[in-house]
Amino acid sequence: MTVGAQAQVQEVMTVSGAVEELTRSVRQVAEIAEASARAAHQALEAAQRGDEAVRDSLAGMQRTRAEVQTIARKIKGLGDRSLEISEIVTTIDDIAAQTNLLALNAAIEAAGAGEAGARFAVVADEVRKLAERCAKATRDIAALIKKVQGETQDAIAVVERGTQEVETGYRVTVQAGRSLAEIAAVSQKSAALAQDISLATHRQVRGADDVAGAIQSIAAVAVQTEQGALHSRKIVEELAGVAGELTASLVRFKLAD
């Protein structure tokens, strides 16, 4: 009986040690799950902040794109006006050339008229000079317009490149926003899953603690049982001794008869 009680105590102690080790492992899992939940929440918050930054960036890019498009339209309009002015200057230059030719013909006719055409010749010469000045001015204007047109074309090319870069940046930012939204969704799911794991492991810890407590109680009962068995064995041995003495007394009593 004592051997069985001792074996029971030993088995209970072995189980108790295993349960304690299991409890430590479950606690470690719970700590890891809590850390994972915190990390997932931090990732979610970072993704949300990134998403807000992307939204602000997109809003700024949209404003920039609208402004660039407005500038492009104005520059194109300036180029169109330059072409119209160039056409007008060409017309003025033609008129100046014709005026110069008419003034030259008038001067020739005035010279043929003698004294009567002297004053007219002076006026015709002044008209010719004005026509020449007008022609020179139109040529200068035409050169300036040509220069403005070249610079306008360069500006249009720069604006178009800027527009393309803004569009590219806008598309990249939109894609980044989508990626951040996906990351936020995954982080949210991960946080929820880690929270569930943490709660489950905490329940396991409580269960393991309960089992450990029960094992400790069983171990205490087993020890008490072993002690009781030892005490009972001692009593039995004492009773056996008394019985032996009684048996010897009975034998002597019978022999005396």
Asked if residue 148 lies in contact with residue 85, where contact means CB atoms within 8 angstroms, the answer is: no
How many domains would you assign to the chain? Answer: 1
Which pLDDT belongs to residue 68?
A: 77
Which pLDDT belongs to residue 1?
A: 44
**Residue span of the structural domain in which 243 resides:** 2-256
Tens-place pLDDT, residues 195-233: 787 777 777 777 777 777 776 777 677 667 767 667 767
Which pLDDT belongs to residue 8?
A: 62
Which pLDDT belongs to residue 213?
A: 72
Measured between alpha carbons, how far is 198 from 204 in angstroms, rounded to an integer?
Answer: 10
Tens-place pLDDT, residues 99-126: 878 777 777 777 776 666 677 777 777 8
Q: Which residue stretches of the chain have pLDDT < 50? A: 1
Pick the closest to residue 97 from 121, 67, 133 (CA basis).
133
SS3 113: coil
Which pLDDT belongs to residue 189?
A: 80
CATH number at residue 122: 1.10.287.950
